[in-house]
């Protein structure tokens, strides 16, 4: 058995002490830890030893290090449940998390070709474009752009989507959702979403593309959500029947 050297034992002790303070609530979720120089002085170690301790805490997902900003206590991870047909905000609230939704923009406009193909309508048709930001534990977590084609767009465009879910608004307008087809893939954060999520472009994220269908089989929502991997994790309950998940290779980009 290999014995730990003094330096390794020291950084592990520091990591254990900080972990205990985080779990005890001395540092709240989303709160910044003291600066590295302050911590190294408090523990009487070099910056190198302290950074080893912080690396251990990062590996244990207790902290998130943001270059140029500092070190922050990780929020409790939200679960993105693949087996649930609910709005994202409703799903997270059911897990007991407080999620704030900010509407970044809404307008009725022409459809991009990609979205028109997903909704199986003509590119010349118009739809409601709804852009929202989901904030959890005081930090942006999800950037979401949803498209709702006519005639449903006009029926829901004036709703307060800061408090009402998109599925809820559709239900109030007489549209019941029946199923959704969703693809979740890893990507690099694009510049537009990066500005809203407060992370550098190129940060690893999950991107969800979901098409929601009504009882008559028509597509009623095309939705793209950009999800920070540091804020959410994807979970599913696997059963013999009831949920189908297909894995496929990604084409080179």
Taking only the tens place, the pLDDT of each residue in 16-28 is 999 888 877 788 7
Per-chain mean pLDDT for the chain = 83
How high is the pLDDT of residue 62? 83
pLDDT digits (tens, 9 = 90+) for 116-143: 999 999 888 999 999 999 887 677 889 9
Mean pLDDT, residues 240-249: 55
Per-residue pLDDT at 228 exceeds 90: no
Residue 211 has pLDDT above 70, yes or no: yes
- Polymer length of the chain: 253
Reference 225, options 147, 172, 170; nearest CA is 147
What pLDDT shows up at residue 30? 75
| C-alpha span between 145 and 58 (Å, rounded) | 31
At 16-62, the pLDDT tens digits run: 999 888 877 788 777 889 999 999 999 999 999 999 999 999 888 78
pLDDT of the residue at 96: 61
pLDDT mean over 95-100 = 70
Give 180's Cβ-side CA count (13 Å radius): 24
pLDDT score at 76 = 62
State both tokens at 205.
Answer: 């994220």
Put simply, whether the predicted model's pTM sits higher than 0.85 gets the answer no
Contact (CB, 8 A) for 88 and 142: yes
- Three-class SS state of 104: strand
């Amino acid at each position: 058995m290999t014995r730990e050297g003094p330096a390794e034992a020291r950084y592990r002790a520091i990591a254990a002490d900080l972990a205990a303070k985080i779990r005890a609530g001395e540092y709240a979720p989303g709160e910044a830890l003291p600066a590295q120089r302050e911590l190294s002085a408090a523990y009487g170690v070099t910056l190198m030893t302290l950074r080893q301790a912080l690396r251990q805490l990062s590996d244990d997902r207790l902290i998130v290090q943001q270059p140029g900003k500092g070190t922050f206590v990780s929020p409790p991870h939200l679960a993105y449940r693949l087996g649930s047909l609910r709005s994202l905000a409703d799903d997270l609230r059911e897990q007991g998390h407080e999620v704030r939704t900010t509407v970044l923009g809404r307008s009725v406009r022409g459809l991009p070709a990609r979205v028109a193909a997903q909704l199986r309508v003509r590119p010349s048709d118009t739809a409601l474009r709804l852009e929202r930001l989901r904030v959890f534990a005081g930090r942006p977590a999800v950037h979401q752009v949803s498209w709702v084609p006519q005639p449903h767009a006009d029926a829901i465009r004036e709703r307060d989507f800061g408090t009402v879910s998109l599925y809820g608004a559709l239900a109030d307008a007489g549209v019941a959702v029946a199923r959704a087809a969703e693809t979740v893939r890893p990507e690099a954060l694009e510049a537009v979403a990066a500005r809203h999520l407060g992370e550098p472009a190129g940060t690893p994220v999950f991107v969800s593309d979901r098409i929601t269908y009504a009882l008559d089989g028509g597509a009623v929502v095309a939705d793209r959500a950009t999800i920070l991997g540091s804020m959410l994790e994807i979970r599913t309950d696997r059963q013999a029947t009831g949920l189908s998940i297909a894995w496929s290779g990604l084409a080179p980009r």
